[in-house]
């Protein structure tokens, strides 16, 4: 074993990538990938990880209604708390005269674009708002997530309402969801004073909307595939109806995941509520995520595609550098600092900033990645190889990719 680093890109590759517009991420073999493209890959990888975490949550709470209800309550409460304690009206273009909960739609609108969930606001008023999405990388995570995201928006909207003079409350509903097979995701928020409807439980957030006849449905030919900040026709800026603008230079650091925002906190909460023990929850996550990782490269064509994607030279055979390349591309895309301690045919060692990988501050997401990578290395390289944490400095996760024999693996 040696700590030698093969000749390759400088160790500071990717540093500061978040603060330059259209910077590229770079594989260990100098394959450059555009900022936008890398974000899409990172977003989808995190969605796949999130879908696996969602399966773990389904094992922990088998009943749909109970599971969705708990997830919605957790998401609503947490985002209400966030909205109450960390207000950012200026950051969303919410004006002082915007009373009631309709300005919450501005928060959702901006958040969607930052998550590459492109689409368009179709209505924005005191009594009715509508947002239509054409793309949602999270559409593979299950309909419970669609419900929970809606209730998190309700939480943000309700928090916004408290900062202004009395206004009208809106009921936020996701009346179409790509996660349920619809062409679009569609949130319609309605005032029950103007559009009366029976009260519903928090998790019953799919509607139907009373004001469905006002819905504006975008046909396939007019749908978009990129966020505003990546579109020329938008001057490469997200701009909402109150002229709040964001460019793409902040996009990477804004990327977050369903797992970190909703699913892992829901599992933690399920353990607190006694649906399982924390130890068992961790075990289930490990099992599911490792399996998901293995499934990523179970077929040879997936390995060939990955090598092509990373620009791996033919001289590189089956070793840990393959997974190293995948990990580095992801970390650069997430603007997560890492150091390369070793990168050769025998071992790859990274020291990864835990804070950077705990997207949105969800610490358990760090381990979730590790479980996933352990599964991936088994099929991307071969079963002789493993990924494990070893001798981590404080605040870091030092991972080693190398051959390992473990009779209880």
Partner 1 sequence: MNKNIFKDDEWKRSEHMAVRENAGYYLFTHQLEEVSGPDAGKFLDWICPNNIANLKVGRDRYTTILNEEGEIIDDVVVMRMDEEKYWVSTLYATKLDDWIYYHSDDYDIDFSEITEDWHMFSVQGPKSKDIMNGLIEGGVEDLRFFANRNAVMNGMDVIINRGGFTGEKFGYEVYCTPDDADAVQDLIDAAVKEAGGKEVTEFQVFAWTLPTEAGFYYMRDLNRTNPFEVGLEKNINWDKEFIGKEALLKVKENGPAREMVGFEVCDENENFYIRSKQYGGPGEPVYIDGEEEEVGRVSKLVYSYVKNVNNGYILAKKDKLHIGDHITIHGTKCVITEKNWLG
Binding site for partner 1 (CB under 8 A): 90-91, 95-99, 102, 109, 120-128, 165, 167-168, 194, 212-218, 228, 231, 233-235, 238-243, 245
Q: In terms of CB distance, is 91 or 208 closer to partner 1?
A: 91
Q: In terms of CB distance, is 213 or 391 closer to partner 1?
A: 213
Rounded CA separation 333/311 (Å): 17
Which stretches within 17-123 are classed as H helix? 35-60, 64-85, 89-92, 104-114
Question: Residue 230 Cβ, how far from partner 1 at the closest point, in Å?
Answer: 12
- Strand, coil or helix: 340: strand
Question: Residue 162 Cβ, how far from partner 1 at the closest point, in Å?
Answer: 14
Rounded CA separation 71/48 (Å): 19
Question: Residue 154 Cβ, how far from partner 1 at the closest point, in Å?
Answer: 19
Q: In terms of CB distance, is 97 or 408 closer to partner 1?
A: 97
Rounded CA separation 50/261 (Å): 10
Q: In terms of CB distance, is 64 or 217 closer to partner 1?
A: 217
Which stretches within 273-408 are classed as H helix? 278-296, 300-310, 321-333, 354-357, 364-380
Rounded CA separation 324/313 (Å): 14
Question: Residue 169 Cβ, how far from partner 1 at the closest point, in Å?
Answer: 13
Q: How many CB atoms lie within 10 A of CB 170?
A: 29
The values of phi and psi at residue 311, to 5°, are: 70, 40
Question: Residue 20 Cβ, how far from partner 1 at the closest point, in Å?
Answer: 21
Q: In terms of CB distance, is 5 or 239 closer to partner 1?
A: 239
Rounded CA separation 182/192 (Å): 25
Rounded CA separation 11/332 (Å): 12
Q: In terms of CB distance, is 245 or 341 closer to partner 1?
A: 245
Question: Residue 18 Cβ, how far from partner 1 at the closest point, in Å?
Answer: 21
């Amino acid at each position: 074993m040696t700590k030698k680093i093969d000749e390759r890109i400088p160790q500071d590759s990717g540093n500061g990538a978040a603060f330059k517009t259209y910077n590229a991420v770079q594989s260990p073999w100098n394959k450059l990938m555009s900022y936008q493209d890398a974000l899409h890959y990172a977003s989808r990888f995190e969605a796949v990880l999130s879908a696996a975490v969602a399966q773990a949550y389904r094992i922990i709470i088998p009943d749909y209604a109970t599971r969705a209800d708990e997830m919605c309550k957790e998401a609503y409460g947490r985002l209400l708390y966030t909205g109450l304690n960390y207000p950012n009206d200026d950051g969303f273009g919410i004006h002082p005269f915007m009373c009631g909960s309709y300005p919450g739609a501005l928060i959702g609108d901006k958040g969607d674009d930052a998550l590459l969930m492109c689409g368009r606001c179709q209505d924005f008023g005191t009594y009715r708002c509508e947002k239509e999405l054409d793309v949602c990388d999270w559409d593979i995570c299950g309909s419970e997530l669609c419900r929970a995201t809606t209730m998190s928006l309700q939480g943000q909207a309700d928090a916004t309402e408290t900062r202004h003079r009395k206004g009208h409350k809106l009921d936020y509903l996701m009346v179409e969801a790509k996660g349920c097979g619809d062409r679009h995701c569609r949130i319609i928020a309605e005032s029950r004073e103007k559009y009366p409807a029976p009260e519903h439980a928090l998790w019953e957030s799919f509607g139907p909307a009373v004001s469905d006849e006002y819905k504006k449905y975008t046909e396939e030919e007019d749908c978009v595939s990129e966020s505003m900040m990546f579109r020329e026709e938008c001057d490469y800026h997200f701009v909402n109806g109150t002229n709040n603008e964001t460019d793409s230079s902040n996009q990477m650091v804004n990327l977050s995941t369903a797992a970190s925002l909703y699913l892992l906190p829901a599992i933690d909460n399920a353990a607190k509520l006694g649906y399982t023990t924390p130890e068992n929850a961790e075990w289930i996550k490990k099992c599911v995520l490792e399996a998901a990782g293995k499934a990523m490269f179970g077929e040879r064509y997936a390995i060939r595609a990955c090598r092509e994607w990373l620009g791996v030279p033919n001289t590189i055979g089956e070793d840990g550098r393959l997974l190293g390349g995948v990990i580095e591309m992801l970390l650069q895309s997430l603007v997560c600092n890492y150091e390369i301690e070793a990168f050769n045919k025998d071992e790859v060692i990274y020291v990864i900033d835990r804070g950077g990988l705990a997207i949105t501050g969800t610490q358990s997401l760090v381990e979730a990645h590790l479980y996933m990578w352990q599964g991936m290395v088994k099929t991307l390289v071969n079963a002789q190889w493993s990924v494990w944490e070893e001798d981590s400095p404080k605040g870091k996760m030092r991972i080693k990719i190398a051959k390992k024999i473990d009779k209880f693996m």
